[in-house]
Every structure is written in structure tokens, then in C-alpha cells.
Amino acid sequence: MIDINFLRQNPEAVRENIRKKFQDHKLPLVDEILALDVKRRELQKEGDECRAKRNSLSAQIGKLMREKQPEAAAKVKEEVVENNDRIAQIEKDSEEISAKLKQAMMSIPNIIADDVPIGRDDRENVERQRFLEPAEKSFEVPYHLEILERLRGIDLDSARRTSGQGFYYLTGDIARLHSAVLTYARDFMIDKGFTYVIPPFMIRSDVVSGVMSFEEMDGMMYKIEGEDLYLIGTSEHSMIGRFMNTVLDAAELPLTLTSYSPCFRKEKGAHGIEERGIYRIHQFEKQEMIVICKPEDSAEWFRKLYSYTVELFVSMQIPVRTLECCSGDLADLKYKSIDVEAWSPRQKKYFEVGSCSNLTDAQARRLGIRYKSEKGNAYAHTLNNTVVAPPRMLIALLENHLNADGSVNIPEVLRKYMGGKDKILPKQ
């Protein structure tokens, strides 16, 4: 959510930002917000005047009663009743207008960075940098489900019976490798100075609306029937929500946190053959990184965060590239985003394995996350980034470390988490 003061002073800049995000249907909201804001301030002024008048009338009544003028005092009391009725109506109207104003403001996208490439969707994202040269395979790399099945590492049929499409059982060495990746990612981030956290896996609706737009919420979140609770789509949601309605000490900033959680998402459908298997699923696990910092530090933390993901993948000898998200691919609360994509030897192209976002003060305004500054309480900036999400990480790891005989080499950094194993062998 952007600052109402900024919108008042720069309505055309807000409109232009909406156009850059190709959301022209939201342009009327700017005038609607300005009109509601004027009405709200008019009511506030009138309410202040009515309350001042009430105090004055109360003083008059006291004076008249002391002067033994009960009839005059009774007339003033009638004015007090009328005035109080008006105050009650003003408060009711103000509450309704404030609710409409908040709803409209929460639909306005965050102002994007000046250097964000302008484009309609992810097809117009811009490659920034590559790390490690992809190695040529002397054999055809099978689809990742085939690799997993040859290693006896996955059971989709049983998952379909117990849970339906979009779920899976991981078994044996693959299940162990999945856990190894998460444990390595946790230790990697702790070594970077981040504090490890395991958050709640369900959050209330006021947290959900604070961390994401209405459109995202509807497309992602599973709601618990009969409860004001949602399953988290990423631990970022509950991690940022932890600081809702708090004023942090500036000396404590930045807060650098890394969190583990299962993630639950509705998003799954006909996305093509490459998104069958375990690429896009309803449930997965993830290691995340979160930073809450002062505004002047968020740009540097943004650069650090996605560089950590790159470093992690490179340490496992997986080629990656960074891709800057264009304006139309940015979610409404995001100021700037970089995706990290891993090389797929089978597809001979890169695919997304993580995303880093700077949301500036958009989430902080929605959730009331502030810190004590020299000029008073100020809104903090929030950032998040995927350390690793093993389902997609497993695809990248399996394809890049697959051998011609069907075995998979275990990257050296993971071996201590695999009991010293250096290879997973196919089962006969």
C-alpha cells in the first residue's frame, strides 16, 4: 500500500505507475481515492468542530444553571442533543468512508523502481547475469519423473489415491536428499548471520491481506473451513506477520531471518508438460530468507539476498542465471524482483527456482510495522527471497548431476547430510 500523502501530491505519477503495470482498469481508483480522501478530511474537520461546540455548550449549560436560568439551559441542552446526533452520524460516515478508502488504497500497486524493465508478463523479463557454464551431456536426459522412478524415489500413484493430483511421496535416498538440501540451506543461511526460525504454518486473514494483494490471496491461499485461518503459501507470510503492529528499535535493524516451512498453494493446472511431475504442486517445503530494515538499506539487502541464492546453487555445481522481472510480472506489493533460474540439461533452458523481492514499505504500511527514527516512528522496508525450494531444486540437481548409467552424483556440500554418500544408484 502506497502513502496517501504521495498519492495526494503525485496523482499522475501513481496513474503512470498503474499504466506501466498494464492495469488500466485501476486508473479510476485514483480519482475515487482522492474524492474519498477529501470527504474523509471534511468529515474530520466537521467532527472536530462539533466536538469543540459540545464542550462550549456544556460550559454554557453549567454557567446558566449556576445563574438560575433553567429554561435557557434547557434550550442549550436541545442544541447539545442535536450536536451529539450529528457527531454520531459523522463518526458512522467516517468509518464507512475510511473502509472504502482503505479497500481502494490496497488495490493500488506499489510504485516500482525506475530501472524495472517495462513489459506485460514474464516473457518480457530481462536476463542480467549467468553463473557457471552448463555442461554438455553425452546422453539424452530423461524427464525428471523417469529419473526419480528409476531411483525408486517417488510414488505418485499412492499420493493420487490418498490426496489427489498435485501431491507425491518421496522415498529412500531421494527423500533423504530432499531433507539434505533443506538442512544445508538452513546452515548456509545461519553461516551468513541469519537467525533460524520455524514459524506458524497458518495465519489469520488480517495477516494475509497485509502481506499480499487480494488477487494473489484468491489464487494461492487455502482457507480452513469455519476458522479465520489460512494455510501459508510461503513462510514469508507468517514471518512478516510476526511484526504486525509493532514499533521496532532502530538499533535492532536489520532483522535478518531464515525460516523453514511447508507451503500450501492452490495454483496448479494445465501449464504444459514441463509443469507435470513435481514442478508445480499443492504442497512443498522451502527455506526462506526475510529482512526487515531501514529504507536506506533495502537496495543493498536486495542485492545481497539474491546473491546468496546464486552462491548456494553454484556451491552445488548447478548453473544459474538471474532474471529481472518486468513491470507486468511484478505482484502489486513489489518494488523490484529478481528471479533465480537453474539450467535444465533436458530442456536446454533455464527454469525458475527462486525469487527475490523488495517490497519497500508496502507490507509495512498494511501491517503497521514501524521503527523508531530520529524524526519519529517510520515504516520499515521488508524483503524476502527463496533460499531453496526442494521440489524444483531436486529437478535441477538430478538433471545436472545425472550420469549415463542412471546414477546421480551427490554434490560434495551435501554429502555430510547424506551419511557420506557420494552417489545415488538406480534400482533394478
pLDDT for 273 equals: 43
pLDDT for 276 equals: 65
* Fold of domain 122-424: BirA Bifunctional Protein; domain 2 (3.30.930)
Domain ranges of the chain: 4-105, 122-424
pLDDT for 165 equals: 86
Q: Which of 50-64, 89-103, 206-220, 245-259 has the lowest mean pLDDT?
A: 206-220
CATH number of 4-105: 1.10.287.40
- Map residue 256 onto helix, strand or coil: strand
Sign of the torsion formed by the C-alpha atoms of 112, 114, 118 and 122? negative
- Map residue 286 onto helix, strand or coil: strand
Residue pLDDT, tens place only, 155-197: 999 999 999 888 999 999 999 999 999 999 999 999 999 999 9
Residue type, 128: R
Residue pLDDT, tens place only, 342-380: 999 999 999 999 999 999 999 999 999 999 988 889 999
Average pLDDT, the chain: 93
**Residue 427 pLDDT class (50, 70, 90 cuts):** confident
pLDDT for 275 equals: 54
**pLDDT above 80 (res 61):** yes
Say if pTM beats, i.e. exceeds, 0.95: no
Percent of the residues in the chain that have a pLDDT greater than 70, as a whole number? 97
Residue pLDDT, tens place only, 96-105: 999 999 999 9
pLDDT for 27 equals: 97
**pLDDT above 90 (res 215):** no
Helix (H) or strand (E) holding 394: helix 390-400
Produce one character per residue of 238-268: b if its CB has 16 or more CB atoms within 10 Å, e if not: bbbbbbbeeebeeeebbbbbbbbbebbbeee
**pLDDT above 80 (res 19):** yes
**pLDDT above 70 (res 269):** no
Q: Fold identical between 4-105 and 122-424?
A: no
Q: Which of 40-44, 63-67, 229-233 has the lowest mean pLDDT?
A: 63-67
